[in-house]
């Protein structure tokens, strides 16, 4: 099923991309594997997925070490997509290639400090709350530029882009304004031409709204149900 789902998703991505004149290869699919098993992760890797997302450090560590035992020619990249507590940073740094959920100075500081200890430059995305929902994590859009100026000082952090989670909406169109906001914000920041800040990634779009997200300029979509569940 996973294999068919992925083929199906890739076809949909190709369709959207041809409509909006984008290259489908430019869009990274992150398989969000929270609640799924290491076997399921191995299945998606075998179906050609190169990026795995998790939202809890402990759960991710177990599966990471299990998946690692399979001698893939290229090991997948691991993404932290859930809220990260500062007391989990040290462990998170050992397994995650990209931390997508940086949303406070305190957290960024801790990542920088722990990364320095192990000589790692940690790639991160800044999570932005584009919907204004109080239940969502993420920085307010109007605080992002100041935040970036602060954290570009940190030597062991590399800001790769922005991430957002759209609200659950009864129609995907309702999420469009959130995606547009993130894209606009990214462009504004790029135009500031800050040193050590190369915003390439726009992580937006999940199972219910990835088509709209791609139309609005996403180049990284995070899919759980579309990959792991029967969506017919």
Q: Quote the tokens at residue 48.
A: 């050609």
Spatial neighbors of 150 by CB under 8 A, at least 6 apart, are 105, 108
Q: Specify the length of the chain in residues.
A: 232
> To 10 degrees, what angle do helices 38-46 and 2-20 make?
50
Residues 2, 6, 13, 32: which binds ligand PLP (CB under 6 A)? 32
Q: For residues 66-125, which are near ligand PLP according to CB under 6 A?
A: 81-82
Among 34, 77, 176, 180, binds ligand PLP (CB under 6 A): 34
| Contacts of 136 by beta carbon, 8 Å cutoff, 6+ apart | 129, 165, 167
Among 22, 50, 207, 211, binds ligand PLP (CB under 6 A): 207
Residue 115 has φ and ψ, to the nearest 5°, of: -65, -40
Q: Does 224 bind ligand PLP (CB under 6 A)?
A: yes
Q: Which is nearer to ligand PLP, 52 or 115 (CB)?
A: 52
Give the nearest distance from C-beta 21 to ligand PLP in angstroms: 25
Closest CA to 212 of 172, 165, 170: 172
Residue ranges of the alpha helices (H) in the chain? 2-20, 38-46, 57-68, 89-95, 105-117, 144-151, 176-192, 210-215, 225-228
Q: Enumerate residues 6+ apart whose C-beta is below 8 A from 132.
A: none
The nearer residue to ligand PLP, 48 or 117, going by C-beta atoms, is 48
Which one of residues 42, 55, 114, 131 is an interface residue with ligand PLP (CB under 6 A)? 55
Q: Which stretch binds ligand PLP (CB under 6 A): 15-23, 85-93, 178-186, 219-227?
A: 219-227
Q: Which is nearer to ligand PLP, 8 or 207 (CB)?
A: 207
Stretch that binds ligand PLP, among 12-20, 105-113, 186-194, 217-225 (CB under 6 A): 217-225
According to the binding rule CB under 6 A, does residue 165 interact with ligand PLP? yes
In the structure encoding, which two tokens stand for residue 218, read together?
A: 């996403």
- Using the rule CB under 6 A, is 226 a contact of ligand PLP? yes
The residues binding ligand PLP (CB under 6 A) are 32, 34, 55, 81-82, 165, 206-208, 222-226
């Amino acid at each position: 099923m996973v294999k068919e789902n992925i083929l199906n998703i890739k076809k949909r991505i190709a369709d959207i991309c041809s409509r909006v004149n984008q290259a489908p290869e430019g869009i990274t699919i992150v398989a969000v594997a929270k609640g799924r098993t290491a076997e399921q992760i191995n299945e998606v890797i075998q179906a050609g997925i190169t990026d795995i997302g998790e939202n809890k450090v402990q759960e991710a560590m177990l599966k990471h070490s299990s998946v690692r035992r399979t001698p893939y020619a290229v090991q997948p990249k691991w993404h932290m997509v859930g809220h990260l507590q500062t007391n989990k940073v040290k462990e998170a740094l050992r397994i995650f290639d990209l931390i997508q959920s940086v949303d406070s100075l305190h957290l960024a500081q801790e990542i920088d400090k722990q990364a320095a200890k192990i000589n790692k430059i940690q790639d991160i995305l800044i999570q932005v709350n584009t919907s204004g929902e109080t239940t969502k994590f993420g920085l307010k859009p109007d605080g992002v530029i100041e935040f970036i100026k602060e954290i570009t000082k940190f030597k062991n952090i590399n800001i790769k882009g922005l991430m957002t989670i759209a609200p659950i909406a009864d129609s995907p169109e309702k999420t469009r304004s959130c995606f547009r906001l993130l894209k606009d914000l990214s462009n504004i920041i790029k135009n500031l031409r800050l040193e050590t800040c190369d915003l390439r990634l726009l992580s937006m779009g999940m199972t219910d709204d990835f088509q709209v997200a791609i139309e609005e300029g996403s180049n990284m979509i995070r899919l759980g149900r579309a990959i792991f569940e029967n969506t017919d």
